[in-house]
Amino acid sequence: MTGMIGSGVFVTSGFAVESLGSRTLVMAAWLVGGLVALCGAVAYGGLARRLPKSGGEYLYLSRSLHPFCGFLAGMVSLTAGFSGGIAFAAMTCQEYAKGILLLPAWMPSQTLATAVIIICFLIHIEAGRVAARLNTSIVLLKILTLMCLIIFGYSVVGWPSAVAEQSIQGASTGATIDGFAMTVVWVMFSYTGFNEAIYVASEARVGRRTVPRALVLGTFLTTILYLAINDIFLRAAPLVELAGQSQVAAIAAAALGGRTAQLGMSIVIVLSTLSAAAGMTMAGSRVATAMAEDGLLPAWLKGRSGRSRAVLVQTVLAIILVYGTTLQNLLGTLSVTLSLCSAMTVATLFWPQKHADSEKPVGDVLANDLSHPSALVLVAATVYCVATLLFAGLYGWHDPWQLGGVVAIIVVAVSLWPWARSSDISAFNQSQHDSVEQSET
């Protein structure tokens, strides 16, 4: 939930209103995005039961398909997934912090976002477990605050059944299929953190049971919160005032309770986005460490000390993105890239696991049984893959330039693969025993 409720929800609806021009269609996009994410959570839960180890998409693709697929997913995670996500959260934090802090005119506009990224870096270099506990406290405070906002908001604007449809004139795409698909892709970025628990699966108690539950419950609760809070955002202020605005939450809060409410909302969002950036900083380093242990990245990224160096690498990449792109452009690129990578990972559920221990018991379940997903998991995986590919395809048709990020990452991965491959084979062969060792543990 820390990874999901952080940045996208506080900016996406402004762009969505500009695209669709209808409150009902915007809410429909949030609902569709939530249902797709819930299917993805169920599917990722199946992956976690099959192999409850840290590493995320890299781990599952490299074990189930081919080391290059894992290497490509690792590059996506390190660049778009975490460095890009950290940059987006920091830029959102900056947008809302402008209403709280007054910076000198000579200071670059990206100063606040850069400061957020550096703070997250320092926290996780020096803290570790303490940072995780602090992050949990912040997200609980954030969720409590959002629930209070929802209650207060409905007391002002009334319940949904009492409100008529709103629309605006001059929407850029109107209620077209590709316009709706573009909006769903934007919305999906707000749900992308639904799979964050798998990145630390080996560090969870009883990972095969805990991680799937965390994925599904966290995604379900987040979907409910998203629908409620966006319903309030979209009814608190005229849609024409929200269209195209990145500070949609602050605008809605001002309409509900004036300057005081706007200031309070900005403070909550600053804490929220800082928490999201911190959560991604913690999880992202595990991917680099897992790749280094398989020989696909330099050995200095291995182990606990390697995690600290990995945090430094993703911090540098995030700062580069802050200075090289805009919120809306980053939103589209990250959404498409991460969705396609997740769909490819979920598709591995349809491949039989190559290295399962058929006799070693894991609790009351045989390890061999865990390699065969249930019918529910396979149905959820099918829905997630088909929906993701459909919306990404329609979005690419509408705006082909947004696929540039995907192409760039693939080109970089292909270019680096010969170098990585020369050192990965022996390490990868040895790593195939990881699932057996985990089962024995």
Amino acid (one-letter) located at 74: G
**HSE (side-chain half, CA atoms, 13 Å) at 292:** 18
CA 169 centroid distance within chain: 32
Decide if 384 contacts 346 (C-beta within 8 A): yes
> If DSSP codes are grouped into helix, strand and coil, which group holds residue 159?
coil
Report all structural domains of the chain as residue ranges with CATH numbers, in order of start: 8-440 (1.20.1740.10)
H/E element, 361: strand 361-362
Decide if 31 contacts 37 (C-beta within 8 A): no
Cα separation, 157 vs 149, whole angstroms: 12
Decide if 431 contacts 202 (C-beta within 8 A): no
pLDDT per residue as tens digits for the range 120-137: 888 776 655 666 666 667
Decide if 91 contacts 273 (C-beta within 8 A): no
Residue with tokens 């409720």: 5
Cα separation, 407 vs 170, whole angstroms: 33
| Both tokens assigned to 101 | 């802090």
Cα separation, 276 vs 271, whole angstroms: 9
pLDDT tens for the chain, 441 residues long, are: 766 776 788 888 888 898 888 888 999 999 999 999 999 999 988 888 877 676 667 778 877 788 888 888 888 878 888 888 889 889 988 888 887 887 777 788 888 999 989 988 887 766 556 666 666 677 777 778 778 888 888 888 777 654 555 555 544 445 678 788 888 988 988 888 788 777 666 655 555 677 888 889 989 999 999 999 999 989 888 888 888 888 888 888 888 888 888 888 888 888 878 877 877 777 777 777 777 877 777 778 887 777 778 888 889 989 998 988 888 778 888 888 888 888 998 998 888 765 444 334 444 343 444 557 788 989 999 999 999 999 888 887 877 776 777 888 888 888 888 877 665 444 444 444 444 344 444
Residue with tokens 């870096």: 121
Paired with 366 in beta bridges are: 361
Q: What are phi and psi of 167, to 5 degrees?
A: -150, 165
Of 439, 427, 435, 290, nearest to 361 (Cα)?
439
Give Cβ neighbours of residue 260 (< 8 Å, ≥ 6 apart): none
Cα separation, 389 vs 369, whole angstroms: 29
H/E element, 367: helix 367-370
**HSE (side-chain half, CA atoms, 13 Å) at 243:** 19
